[in-house]
Amino acid sequence: GNSVTQMEGPVTLSEEAFLTINCTYTATGYPSLFWYVQYPGEGLQLLLKATKADDKGSNKGFEATYRKETTSFHLEKGSVQVSDSAVYFCALSDFGGGSQGNLIFGKGTKLSVKP
């Protein structure tokens, strides 16, 4: 079946440090891949997406590249800020794999950025 595996948190970084949150997936079809972010007390917000192999999604300084050969979609940011503190969720939508497009999420990775 389809699944998403994210690196375990929590991750604690100093401001301006480099961030990588690993995400790998298994899927039977041709999934689209997403990163969602959940700030404290808020809902899930779409951060970025990629819909086919080698696509790079980017937003607010975050990037992730859809790597079909390694079935990965790692999230990176060159210089994190305190305001990036949140929980990050990797997700896939495997419409072509028999699903109707519902999202399958990883467990989430909590990021804390210290000043």
- Figure out which of the listed residues 20, 28, 45, 83 binds another protein, where binding follows CB under 8 A: 45
Nearest to 71 by CA among 34, 26, 32, 19: 26
- Figure out which of the listed residues 108, 109, 111, 113 binds another protein, where binding follows CB under 8 A: 108
Compute CA distances 80 → 72, 85, 95, whole Å. 22, 9, 33
CB 98 within 8 Å of CB 2: no
Q: Which range of residues in 10-18, 64-72, 76-84, 92-100 is near another protein by CB under 8 A?
A: 92-100
**For binding to another protein (CB under 8 A), which residues are involved?**
30-32, 34, 36, 41-46, 49, 51, 89, 91, 93-96, 99-108
